[in-house]
C-alpha cells in the first residue's frame, strides 16, 4: 500500500466535535468516558487492548427508531450481517425481532447457530456457489436476491433437485450513482452488481409460471454511506415503475427490497434522519401495496462500536508528532481502505489546547495511519484512546497481517461488560498451518 496521501486532510480543532455528543450509548462522567454504565478506561484495563467495545442500548435504539419510523407499513428490517457478524451482536438483533441479509454460506451458518429461522433471511450477493444455494434452499429462506441469469439457472437446477420452489427476487442494477467512496458505490451500470432492467424483465416473464421459481420480489441496493435521499428517490421511482409494469403483465410481487446504504455521521457528515429515509421508502411502497424489506448495516451498528487502543509511544520526526498506538490497520481497515476519517479521542479528557499528531499503528506500512494531524491533545504511553464509529465494517474486516492476533470484542449492557469474542491467541495465529 502506498503512503496514505489520501487522508492528508487537516482538521481544524473547531471542526472536530467530540463524538460522545452525537453517539448514543456513550457519555462522560466527569472526565471519564463511559459506555452505558461501564468506564471505557476500566474496560480497556480489564479486557486489554486493542478491543472493540459495543453498546447494546445504542443498537437497540437505532433498530427501534428505524422500525417505528416505518409505522404501520408492512416491513421487515433485514440487518446486513456483513457489517458485524459477531454471534453476540446477531443475538441482539434476533431478540429485537430483526430479519437478516446474508451474502455467504458462512453468514447463514452463523444465523443457524443462533436459531434464526429461514423465513427471517434474505440472501444477496453476486457469487453464490452451488453449495451455498443448496444450503439456503434447505433452510427455506425468505428470498434469494438473484444477481445474474447464470445464477438463476443454478437456482432452478438446485430447486428442482431438492423439489422445493425457490422464493426469488431479481436484484436490479438501477443505474443510479450513489455511495460515499468508489469502493462502496454499487448501483451504477458500470458496477458488477445486479441485472439490467431489460434482462430482468425478460427473466421475470420467462420464469413466470415456473415450477421451481416463485417470483416474490424485486430488490436494489445502490451503495453504502449514502448521505442524501436523492439517489434513493431516483432508484425507488424506477423500481416502482417496474413493479407496476410487471403487475400489468400478470406478475404480482409481494416484496420490495430497497437494500441498505443509509449513511452515518463519523466526523461532520450530515446524514438524513432514519425517519426521513423511512418516509421516502414508505411513500413508494405504500401505494404499491408491497411489503417493504430493507437491508441496513452501518446505520444500525456503526455508531454503537468503538475501538479501544493504548498509546505505546510518542515521537517527533523533524517537528512532526506521531502517536504510536497498539491497534493497527489490520485491526481496523477503513482509513487505509476507504480513506475514511474516524475521530480518535482520549478515554480521559482534559482541558487545554489539543496538540496535533498523526495516530499510527505498529504495522510496517505508511498506510497504517488512522488519522493525520489530528487534534488529540497531550498523551503519554499507556493512555487509552477511543476510535469512534467502529461498530460496522470494523472487526469483520480485521486480518492477521504482521501476525497480529485479532482484537477481543466486548458487549456492554447497562453496568455489565462481557466478552463476545476472546482476543486471538498465538495458537490461533498458526491454526490450520
Q: Which is nearer to ligand LLP, 41 or 220 (CB)?
A: 220
Report the nearest approach of ligand LLP to the CB of residue 169 (Å): 12
142-172 core/surface letters (b: 16 or more CB in 10 A; e: else): bbbbbbbeebbebbbebbeeeeeebbbbbbb
The yes or no reply on residue 101 touching ligand LLP (CB under 6 A) is yes
83 lies in the binding site for ligand LLP (CB under 6 A): yes
Q: Which region, judged by CB under 6 A, interacts with ligand LLP, from 12-20, 55-63, 220-228, 240-248? A: 220-228
Distance, in Å, from the CA atom of 234 to the CA atom of 232, rounded to the nearest integer, reads: 5
Among 84, 148, 216, 225, binds ligand LLP (CB under 6 A): 225
In the set 26, 370, 393, 395, which binds ligand LLP (CB under 6 A)?
A: 393
295 forms part of the interface with ligand LLP (CB under 6 A): yes
What is the full DSSP assignment across 275-322? HHHHHHHHHHHHHHTPEEEE--SHHHHSTTEEEEEEEEEEEEETTEEE
Q: Can you tell me which of 221, 342, 404, 406 binds ligand LLP, judged by CB under 6 A?
A: 221
C-alpha cell at 283: 411513500
Beta bridge partners of 316: 321
Question: From the list 50, 194, 296, 405, which residue makes contact with ligand LLP (rule: CB under 6 A)?
Answer: 296
Which of residues 242 and 338 has its CB atom nearest to ligand LLP in the complex? Answer: 338
User: Residue 393: which of 258, 231, 266, 257 has the closest Cα?
Assistant: 266
CA-based nearest residue to 100, from 114, 82, 79: 79
The neighbouring-strand residues paired with 90 are none
With contact defined as beta carbons under 8 Å apart, do 341 and 266 qualify? Answer: yes
Q: Which residue's CB is nearer to ligand LLP, number 45 or number 265? A: 265
183 versus 418: smaller Cβ distance to ligand LLP? 183
334 binds ligand LLP (CB under 6 A): yes
Q: Which is nearer to ligand LLP, 39 or 225 (CB)?
A: 225
Considering beta carbons, is residue 262 or 323 the nearer one to ligand LLP? 262
By CB under 6 A, residue 184 contacts ligand LLP: yes
Q: Contact 305/297 with Cβ under 8 angstroms?
A: no
Q: Which of 104, 224, 341, 345 binds ligand LLP (CB under 6 A)?
A: 224
Residue 205 Cα distances to 152, 210, 232, angstroms: 13, 10, 26
Number of C-alpha atoms within 13 angstroms, CB side, residue 266?
22
Q: How far apart are the first and last CA of the chain?
A: 26
Is 290 a residue of the active site?
Answer: no
Task: List the interface residues with ligand LLP, window 235-264 (CB under 6 A).
Answer: 259-262
Closest approach of Cβ 181 to ligand LLP, in Å? 7
> What residues line the site for ligand LLP (CB under 6 A)?
80, 83, 101, 124, 184, 221, 224-225, 259-262, 295-299, 334, 338, 392-393
Looking at the annotation, which residues are catalytic? 364
Amino acid at each position: 500500500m502506498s503512503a496514505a496521501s489520501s487522508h492528508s486532510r487537516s482538521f481544524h480543532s473547531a471542526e472536530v466535535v467530540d463524538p460522545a455528543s452525537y453517539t448514543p450509548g456513550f457519555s462522560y462522567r466527569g472526565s471519564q468516558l463511559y459506555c452505558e454504565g461501564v468506564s471505557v478506561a476500566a474496560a480497556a484495563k480489564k479486557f486489554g487492548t486493542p478491543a472493540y467495545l459495543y453498546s447494546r442500548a445504542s443498537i437497540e435504539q437505532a433498530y427501534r427508531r428505524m422500525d417505528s419510523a416505518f409505522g404501520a407499513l408492512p416491513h421487515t428490517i433485514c440487518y446486513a450481517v456483513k457489517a458485524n457478524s459477531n454471534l453476540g451482536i446477531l443475538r441482539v438483533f434476533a431478540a429485537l425481532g430483526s430479519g437478516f441479509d446474508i451474502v455467504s454460506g458462512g453468514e447463514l451458518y452463523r444465523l443457524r447457530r443462533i436459531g434464526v429461522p429461514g423465513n427471517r433471511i434474505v440472501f444477496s450477493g453476486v457469487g453464490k456457489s452451488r453449495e451455498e444455494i443448496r444450503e439456503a434452499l434447505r433452510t427455506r429462506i425468505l428470498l434469494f436476491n438473484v444477481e445474474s441469469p447464470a445464477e438463476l439457472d443454478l437456482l432452478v437446477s438446485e430447486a428442482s433437485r431438492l423439489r422445493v420452489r425457490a422464493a426469488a427476487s431479481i436484484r436490479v442494477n438501477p443505474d443510479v450513482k450513489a455511495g460515499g467512496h468508489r469502493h462502496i458505490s454499487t448501483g451504477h451500470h458500470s458496477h458488477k452488481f445486479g441485472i439490467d432492467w431489460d434482462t430482468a424483465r425478460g427473466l421475470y416473464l420467462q420464469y413466470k409460471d415456473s415450477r421451481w421459481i416463485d417470483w416474490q420480489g424485486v430488490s436494489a441496493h445502490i451503495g453504502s454511506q449514502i448521505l442524501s435521499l436523492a439517489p434513493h428517490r431516483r432508484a425507488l421511482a424506477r423500481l416502482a415503475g417496474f413493479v407496476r409494469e410487471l403487475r400489468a403483465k400478470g406478475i404480482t410481487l409481494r416484496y420490495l427490497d430497497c437494500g441498505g446504504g443509509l449513511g452515518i455521521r463519523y466526523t461532520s457528515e450530515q446524514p438524513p434522519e432514519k425517519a426521513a429515509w423511512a418516509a421516502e421508502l414508505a411513500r413508494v411502497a405504500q401505494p404499491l401495496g408491497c411489503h417493504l424489506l430493507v437491508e441496513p448495516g452501518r446505520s444500525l451498528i456503526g455508531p454503537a462500536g468503538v475501538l479501544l487502543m493504548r498509546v505505546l509511544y510518542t515521537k517527533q520526526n523533524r517537528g512532526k508528532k506521531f502517536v504510536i498506538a497498539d491497534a493497527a490497520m489490520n485491526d481496523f481497515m477503513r482509513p487505509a481502505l476507504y480513506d475514511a476519517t474516524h475521530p480518535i479521542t482520549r478515554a480521559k479528557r482534559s482541558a487545554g489546547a489539543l496538540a496535533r499528531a498523526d495516530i499510527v499503528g505498529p504495522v510496517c506500512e505508511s498506510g497504517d495511519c488512522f488519522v493525520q494531524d489530528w487534534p488529540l491533545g497531550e498523551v503519554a504511553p499507556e493512555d487509552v484512546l477511543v476510535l469512534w464509529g467502529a461498530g460496522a465494517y470494523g472487526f469483520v474486516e480485521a486480518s492477521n497481517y504482521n501476525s497480529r492476533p485479532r482484537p477481543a470484542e466486548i458487549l456492554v449492557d447497562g453496568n455489565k461488560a462481557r466478552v463476545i469474542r476472546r482476543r486471538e491467541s498465538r495458537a490461533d495465529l498458526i491454526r490450520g498451518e
